[in-house]
Copies of this chain bind each other. A is one copy, B any other.
Amino acid sequence: MYQLNLHDLTVEQFLAEYWQKKPLLIKGGFANFEDPISPDELAGLAAEEEIESRIVSKSKGEWQLETGPFEDYSAFGEQDWTLLLQAVDHWHPESAVLIEPFRFIPNWRIDDLMISFSTPGGGVGPHLDQYDVFIIQGMGKRHWRVGMPDATLTQHCPHPRLLQISPFVDCIDVITEPGDILYIPPGCPHEGISVDASLNYSVGFRAPAQKDLLTGLADYLIENEIQGERYTDAGRTVATNIGEITSADLASVQQMLQGLINDPKLLAQYFGSYITHAKHELDATEPDPHYHLDEIAEYLLEGSVLARLGGLRCCYIQATAADDISLFINGHTITVPATELSTVKQLCEQIQLDAQTCIAFAEDPSKLKLLTMLINQGYWYFVE
């Protein structure tokens, strides 16, 4: 497991002083860093249809962007290109653990692990993102510059699918070495140019915009066939201006919309389901045939270990300590009695359930039933 070393800073101080406020270079944030993946393995993943990959390259001052899968890299030459893979945590468990040291931020805020391999001179150009990111330097070295948000920066597209920004003033200018970590808040301009062949790991965050939340709620209402109440106007008076939509009409509309948003149960159910929905494909394989409860119990009692599917989003909401818990897994909701809070926490917090935990699960019928369902959906799987 990787251990985050913030040196003089505590996590509390990091959150108070830097999180969402200003960029930070954490020199040697991971001591004695060893890459969880090799460039060859990464190329292997980039050959897969299901994995979102792209290559950004620059040749004679012209930026290019190509999307994968990729089989052959000879056309790109020896320098000035970067291969980027999204959501590698869904496919490569050894890399997925790079996310764990950052879980002082809750699960729902964490998005995915992107990995890039760059040749000398490679980079995606100066740009800004709408999300926080921790960029970990793996093998090789990269020249990173990071600046503060600046409203005077202008964006342009040197290629239709590449958004870059005008030159920016940096507050961090560093050659990152293996184990160095950059924290970059949303809106901070940044640019990394590889010094030699290098790997970078980006732990990205998820921060929905107002539009995302509203369209997500609309989708939730549709999927769950929630119609709500219909507009009524008993007691209406004769319209004086038949073409007018009056402020009273608009106030009714507003009240109806507020009625949806101010329903705490609906809001909780919707948001839990919305935010645990994976954006990228998961590597789930349902066991075929499904396991019987008894089989699972047997394996667990024998000392098996269970792993959680990479990238699986697990969260819970409990209104009060006496209430049932809504456990949200990949957009689905499971209602669990309040007495099972520790079970729910284990599922949400641990990427592996060790033998001892597994035995305890096997010995409790309701825990066993829950686990059987999760295993039969391919969300947890036996590793030992």
Show the binding face of A for B, using Cβ within 8 Å.
Answer: 11-12, 15-16, 19-21, 103-109, 130, 186, 207-211, 213-215, 217-219, 221-222, 226-239, 241-247, 249-250, 253-254, 256-262, 264, 267-268, 271-272, 275, 314-319, 328, 344-345, 347-349
Contacts and interface: CB of A to CB of B under 8 A. Distances in A.
A38 to B, nearest CB: 30
A228 B243 contact: no
Contacts of A264: 250
Given A217-B257, A230-B186, A315 B244 contact: yes
Given A12-B237, A254-B261, A349 B210 contact: no
Chain B CB within 10 Å — which of A208, A253, A317, A345 has the most? A253
B253 A230 contact: no
B214 A214 contact: yes
A236 B19 contact: yes
A215 to B, nearest CB: 4
B345 A235 contact: no
Copies of the protein in its oligomer: 2
Contact of A257 (B15, B213, B242): B213
B233 A210 contact: no
Contacts of A236: 15, 19-20, 105
Contact of A214 (B235, B249, B257): B257
B245 A231 contact: no
A21 B233 CA distance: 10
Contact of A215 (B19, B130, B218, B250): B218
Contact of A242 (B107, B244, B250, B317): B107
B228 A221 contact: no
Contact of A210 (B207, B208, B222, B227): B227
Contacts of A186: 230, 232
Contact of A315 (B12, B228, B243, B262): B243
A318 to B, nearest CB: 8
A146 to B, nearest CB: 17
B210 A260 contact: yes
B245 A229 contact: no
11 contacts: A11-B238, A19-B235, A104-B239, A210-B227, A215-B222, A243-B347, A244-B318, A250-B271, A253-B267, A253-B271, A254-B262
Nearest to A104: B238
A256 B317 contact: no
Nearest to A275: B245
Contacts of A16: 235
A212 to B, nearest CB: 8
Contact of A271 (B108, B109, B239, B245): B245
